[in-house]
Structure 1
Amino acid sequence: MLVEYNKLQNGTDVRGVAIANPERQVNLTVESVRFIAYGFIKWLENKTKIDSSKLKIAIGMDSRLSGPDLKNSIIEVLIKQGCKVYDCSMCTTPAMFMTTVLEENKCHGAIMITASHLPYYYNGLKFFTNKGGCEKEDIKNIVSIASEEKITTVENEGEIFKVDFIDIYSKLLVNIIREGASSKKNYDKPLLGFKIIVDAGNGAGGFFADKVLRVLGADTTGSQFIEPDGTFPNHIPNPEDKEAMESIRNAVLKNKADLGIIFDTDVDRAAIVDSNGMEINKNSLIALISSIILEEHPASIIVTDSVTSTGLAEFINGLGGIHHRFKRGYKNVINEAIRLNNEGKESYLAIETSGHAALKENYFLDDGAYLISKILIKMAKLNEEGKKLESLIRDLKTPCESSDFRLKIKNDNFREYGSVIINDLEAYVKEIDGFNIVPNNYEGIRVECDKQNGEGWFLLRLSLHEPVLALNIESDIENGTKTIINKLIIFLSKYSELDISSVENY
């Protein structure tokens, strides 16, 4: 069974299909999660040097339909290992980490049942200790133990405690916002007078409207899809999804709200819409939180993923910060920021264009609710000065055109095939006048294009997990993307096992 469980590893998570459907076969079963949970217990025993009968483990889930069955299967194993189990029921991924650091019922480990924004039939597991989320090598070890399929039991079963941890976590956020806004007018309700609406996409983020915003005085009338529904009937809960962003934008304009907030399924990502309906996500969200962080920590290094725009780099550097463009993947940017701090180079923010944002002051935890809390604090302070949030990013230069393409690799050895293409592209670029390779790039190849060749840039890189070459293009002129693509098609068409239909049809 080792191979099967290995296939369930998705970087630093475990993910698979948990509900039968026409698209995929079920491979994440109650039986498989039982063994993987056992692997986590044994891994945690080794890590902490604490016997399983003395371990305290929290477990929570998002709104997915398969969550309750998977949770019950995991709890059964934890109990038979003698663990004290804290059942947090509906919760968020960041909150589950907090069960390992808050003094109240402080746990040795935590398990979150979620597959983030993936379709309803998927589910998965994320694991935490007080050091943060498990790394790729940790998951590999957990899965390896699970593959042994020899679950032993202890003589005395453990106990289970029901905990409304999202209530505890909400109160923590409320106190953070109150302290941060420090309004002389109204300490308890610093958001009084604001109309702020939430779109949770029927995921686990609906709590934010009632347990945080309303408590702080905000009018949340018009909030939508805040009731958990694992079929996600309205739109995919994903701040990167165009339909999802359009939905919260329309809601803001219809309800004449001051701010719209959208979360992904398990609330480790977020984005916002301002009162004019302007979507603040991806580069603009990074610019907004960077401006807040750089005011608090001048000259901080801001670590981002590889697909951020040239305009964002100019914006961060213009505020006195240092933009450090790193690799795609939220764990990559977080670990890079931690590495820089360990070297004595201050970095207070690691953020990916997907909406994963991790702050040094918050354990470098990618937490959508905490990110929004920081923004709300600044919103309240700006309001007292007669200003709005959008004033912070007024100087952000945005491209005229921005396009993303996913080129499927049809070769079974896709990583090697994709790497050959990227290496060949480097040689091709050197032959093109007006194309210049960007130095200090950490993945794939990033190329700047002059005015005659599209006036922008492109990045070609291998996807982290799929047999895909990801191509990002930005241009500062109309039809600049087409100009860049025309140059690239000459090169890409040479590879018979690469599907370039999306760029050909642009």
Structure 2
Amino acid sequence: MANFDWKKLQNGSDIRGIALEGVADEPVNLTEEVANILGKAFVTWLKKQLGQPASNLTISVGRDSRLSGPKLMTAVMEGISTTGCRVYDFDMASTPAMFMSTISQKFACDAAIMLTASHLPFNRNGFKFFTAKGGLDKQDISEILKLASENVFETVATPGEIEKLDFISVYADSLVNKVREPVNDSQNYEQPLLGLKIIVDAGNGAGGFYADKVLKTLGADTKGSQFIDPDGRFPNHIPNPENEEAMASIRQAVLEHKADLGIIFDTDVDRAAVVTNSGKELNRNRLIALISAIVLQEHPGSTIVTDSITSDGLTEFIEQDLKGIHHRFKRGYKNVINESMRLNQEGQESWLAIETSGHAALKENYFLDDGAYLVTKLIINLALLRLEGKGLNDLITTLKEPQESQEYRLKINRQNFKECGEQVIEKLQEFASKQTDWQVVPNNYEGMRISCKSPQEKGWLLLRLSLHDPVMPLNIESNVEGGVSQIVNRIFDFFKPFEFLDLSAFKKDI
């Protein structure tokens, strides 16, 4: 491991790597040996944080359905065990459940590790780390990788015990009780969802438990649920609520089975989206609007923190219709969560941090991005609205949606891609300032957002740098037919002089 590049495994506040062969030009760098060392490095980091010897510590480990999961999980648990630390093997689990094990009265683990790479292809895998304070930050991951690169650890003659336990059932029970208490149906307290047909699409990830252990327990009819068996090949569709094919699949299932609600999870269940009985997909801006409506009923005037690409119609809905505050921040689920937490610390009440990808974290739930908890909040309101003869759609009837929207991803063909990207953004500000009908939107926290005010455009564009890749995403929305094309043609001429930009993404529209 002397020449191994540990830094390449860092992906923001997670560790991600290539765990299986089978994809051209993607050599394996997340091996069992690497996993074993990472387990030891995490214990070493944790001992320093808590001021405790390894023999006093307990770490839980879980995984999603990826094919590489079992071997990597065994390796990381063995690495942890060699330090004298006790290990709980939770086997198949969700990312939110792993965090909850650190605050569970029954288990109270000192830390947790989830093996997952979210919706990425089958050959990838990774690690998410938690303590009772929440998910680790970028700096924490850097420190753990530094310890791994040094590969100097204290081990013991008698390894710590590895004990296999069922925690996902404990976690599911907490969600069941979350529904029973507020619905409080005196006739069907144990099964308040009797009469509702709710189906789940787990995408062959780790979310299948929600159909059996939560919905069925609460009395819901779940016939028609699909792809709930774990399969790390992901043979049916990508487990991703942002994926068009995945959303079309759950939409078709809802309509075919005449369900009251359809639920779709990503691989490790930290993201979700839903489909109503009419087939309306509630993801991205619609999902943010829906949970904002619920949160602002419970906490009037609260600030809703979102990422940077949310629509103008969403801002109007939150601030004018719901009388809340919309704080549009940066992309990245940790960014929106940390910003919401910062606002609360400074005295500005913020009960929701949510990204358009479906990561939603509520103050009431430890600011944990938990797809199953989010869906449970929606189901509570579905059950209560049913008593009034209404549905979830009724909460967002006044949300104004754009006529058109499009994202273009422009590759930067330079090693110093961040510097190049910043140069483009700086020049765009100059370009926009010279346009009589374009206006730079104030309070930009990421990239450059421009309001396009001409009658032929009536929309906005946002150009920013990707968090990790040599790419500049360009998001455009318009409230008039043909408006996106108008904006694209106008900004294409701006991009032409930058030789390091790959403009092929515009090929079909120019």
- 2:176, 2:218 within 8 Å by CA — same for their partners in 1? yes
Residue 103 in 1 paired to residue 105 in 2? yes
Question: For residues 455-504 of structure 1, what are the alpha-carbon distances to aligned partners after superposition, in whole Å with 9 as ceiling and x for unaligned?
Answer: 10000000001110000000000000010011101101111111111124
Q: Which amino acid in the other structure matches residue 303 of structure 1?
A: V
- 1:2, 1:147 within 8 Å by CA — same for their partners in 2? no
The answer for the alignment partner of 2:115 in structure 1 is: 113
The answer for the alignment partner of 1:435 in structure 2 is: 438
Which one of the candidate residues 320, 328, 335 is aligned to 1:332? Answer: 335
Question: For residues 331-372 of structure 1, what are the alpha-carbon distances to aligned partners after superposition, in whole Å with 9 as ceiling and x for unaligned?
Answer: 000000000000011000000000000000000000000000
Cα distance in structure 2, aligned partners of 1:266 and 1:22: 22
Give the alignment's TM-score, normalised by structure 1. Answer: 0.99
Cα distance in structure 1, aligned partners of 2:4 and 2:421: 24
Residue 444 in 1 paired to residue 447 in 2? yes
SS in 2 for 1:451: coil
Cα distance in structure 1, aligned partners of 2:455 and 2:323: 32
- 1:461, 1:469 within 8 Å by CA — same for their partners in 2? yes
User: 4+ residue stretches of structure 1 with deviation over 3 A?
Assistant: none
Q: Which amino acid in the other structure matches residue 227 of structure 2?
A: F
Distance 1:451 1:185, change over 3 A: farther
The answer for the alignment partner of 1:350 in structure 2 is: 353
- C-alpha deviation, 1:3, in angstroms: 6.3
Matches within 5 A, 1:384-403: 384-403=387-406
The answer for the alignment partner of 1:92 in structure 2 is: 94
Question: For residues 238-276 of structure 1, what are the alpha-carbon distances to aligned partners after superposition, in whole Å with 9 as ceiling and x for unaligned?
Answer: 000000000000000110100000000000000000001
Q: Please tell me the root mean square deviation across aligned C-alpha atoms, in Å.
A: 0.9
Q: Which amino acid in the other structure matches residue 15 of structure 2?
A: V
- 1:200, 1:262 within 8 Å by CA — same for their partners in 2? yes
- C-alpha deviation, 1:157, in angstroms: 1.6
Which one of the candidate residues 448, 463, 466 is aligned to 1:463? Answer: 466
- 2:38, 2:79 within 8 Å by CA — same for their partners in 1? no
Q: Which amino acid in the other structure matches residue 4 of structure 1?
A: D
Cα distance in structure 2, aligned partners of 1:177 and 1:41: 37
Matches within 5 A, 1:147-226: 147-226=149-228
Larger mean Cα displacement after TM superposition, 204-213 or 1-10:
1-10
Cα distance in structure 2, aligned partners of 1:152 and 1:47: 16
- 1:200, 1:226 within 8 Å by CA — same for their partners in 2? yes
SS in 2 for 1:395: coil
Question: For residues 106-159 of structure 1, what are the alpha-carbon distances to aligned partners after superposition, in whole Å with 9 as ceiling and x for unaligned?
Answer: 110100000000000000000000000000000000001000022331133211
SS in 2 for 1:408: strand
The answer for the alignment partner of 1:423 in structure 2 is: 426
The answer for the alignment partner of 1:487 in structure 2 is: 490
Which one of the candidate residues 483, 502, 506 is aligned to 1:503? Answer: 506
Cα distance in structure 2, aligned partners of 1:98 and 1:165: 10
Cα distance in structure 1, aligned partners of 2:485 and 2:215: 45
Cα distance in structure 1, aligned partners of 2:19 and 2:217: 37
Cα distance in structure 2, aligned partners of 1:75 and 1:170: 24
The answer for the alignment partner of 1:377 in structure 2 is: 380
The answer for the alignment partner of 1:235 in structure 2 is: 237
- 2:458, 2:479 within 8 Å by CA — same for their partners in 1? yes
The answer for the alignment partner of 1:11 in structure 2 is: 12
SS in 1 for 2:464: strand
Cα distance in structure 2, aligned partners of 1:431 and 1:344: 39
- 2:23, 2:123 within 8 Å by CA — same for their partners in 1? no
| Identical-residue share of aligned pairs (%) | 57
- C-alpha deviation, 1:183, in angstroms: 2.1
Cα distance in structure 2, aligned partners of 1:150 and 1:43: 12
The answer for the alignment partner of 2:70 in structure 1 is: 68
Cα distance in structure 1, aligned partners of 2:87 and 2:3: 27
Cα distance in structure 2, aligned partners of 1:40 and 1:413: 32
Cα distance in structure 2, aligned partners of 1:5 and 1:123: 15
- 1:200, 1:224 within 8 Å by CA — same for their partners in 2? yes
Q: Which runs of 5+ in 2 are unaligned?
A: none
Residue 256 in 1 paired to residue 258 in 2? yes
Q: Which amino acid in the other structure matches residue 405 of structure 1?
A: Y
SS in 2 for 1:223: coil
- C-alpha deviation, 1:70, in angstroms: 0.3
SS in 2 for 1:452: coil
SS in 2 for 1:436: strand
Cα distance in structure 1, aligned partners of 2:282 and 2:59: 37
SS in 2 for 1:101: coil
- C-alpha deviation, 1:2, in angstroms: 7.5
Give the alignment's TM-score, normalised by structure 2. Answer: 0.98
Question: For residues 169-207 of structure 1, what are the alpha-carbon distances to aligned partners after superposition, in whole Å with 9 as ceiling and x for unaligned?
Answer: 000100011112222332111111000000000000000
SS in 2 for 1:420: helix
SS in 1 for 2:48: helix
